[in-house]
Amino acid sequence: MISRSTYVSILFSACFCMFQTPQTKFSPIFNGKDLAGWKHVGDGTFLVQNGLLKTVGGMGLLYYSPEQLGNVVIRVIYKTTSKTSNSGVFIRIPEPPTEPWMPVNKGYEVQIDDNGDEYHVSGVLYSLTKTTLRPGIPGQWNILEITLDSNRTAAILNGVKTTDYVEGQAVPPKRQWWEPDRGPRPYSGYIGLQNHSEDDTVFFKEISLKSIR
């Protein structure tokens, strides 16, 4: 027979587990088998090979179609094939895209490119925020966590914070036609992965979500 204190402890632990919701853990939205739940627009494509997503050609965008996302942490585990490999994680896309440039100009791109300058390097909001840090590791698996918290966007790459941006903060002017239009973004939106060009190959092995509300 167990003691009353042990019984209470077991009961407390059981109740605690019951009230832990799935939102406290990361849940994958890429199943490692196929592109269920994902749609592609633009040129090129994504292939599923050996449980990984592989970019092919471009420029295109693979976006998660079931829902818009906000108040969430997005964890992306990716591997570039060279220092100049170019891709990105798009967030806060206001509506389902029909071509790849609307997400550039109406959403944000968390850059993947270890060869860019401080405004165009892995972990920043492309051309909008900057970092002098370079925690991306070409040719190895990198862990990128993007937090969408109402009007705040933060990114942590391999444990190093590279972006912490709040809507309305000053950003540099648009200098090139391919850089995003300036202006506010929605608090929630669709997310996607970029296949940039035939010269850029990037692999993704995890895209998962964790609610923060």
d(CA 75, CA 82): 21
d(CA 27, CA 19): 17
Q: What is the pLDDT of residue 12?
A: 32
Structural domains in the chain (count): 1
Q: How confident is the model at residue 11 (pLDDT cuts 50, 70, 90)?
A: very low
Q: How many CB atoms lie within 10 A of CB 82?
A: 14
Q: Is residue 8 part of a domain?
A: no
Q: Is residue 17 part of a domain?
A: no
Q: How confident is the model at residue 210 (pLDDT cuts 50, 70, 90)?
A: very high
Q: Is residue 6 part of a domain?
A: no
Q: What is the pLDDT of residue 1?
A: 45
Q: Is residue 18 part of a domain?
A: no
Chain segment 145-162, per-residue pLDDT in tens: 999 999 999 999 999 999
User: Between vectors from CA 124 to CA 121 and to CA 128, what angle results, nearest 5°?
Assistant: 105
Q: Is residue 11 part of a domain?
A: no
Q: Is residue 137 part of a domain?
A: yes
Q: Is residue 172 part of a domain?
A: yes
Question: What average pLDDT does the structure give for the chain?
Answer: 91
d(CA 131, CA 122): 9
Query: Structural domain of residue 102, as residue ranges?
Result: 24-211
Chain segment 117-145, per-residue pLDDT in tens: 999 999 999 999 999 999 999 999 999 99
Chain segment 30-77, per-residue pLDDT in tens: 999 999 999 999 999 999 999 999 999 999 999 999 999 999 999 999
pTM: 0.88
The one-character DSSP state at 120 is S
Q: Is residue 5 part of a domain?
A: no
- CATH number, residue 121: 2.60.120.560
Q: What is the pLDDT of residue 213?
A: 83
CA-nearest of 171, 144, 147 to 160 is 144
Task: Give the pair of three-digit tokens for residue 110.
Answer: 């968390």
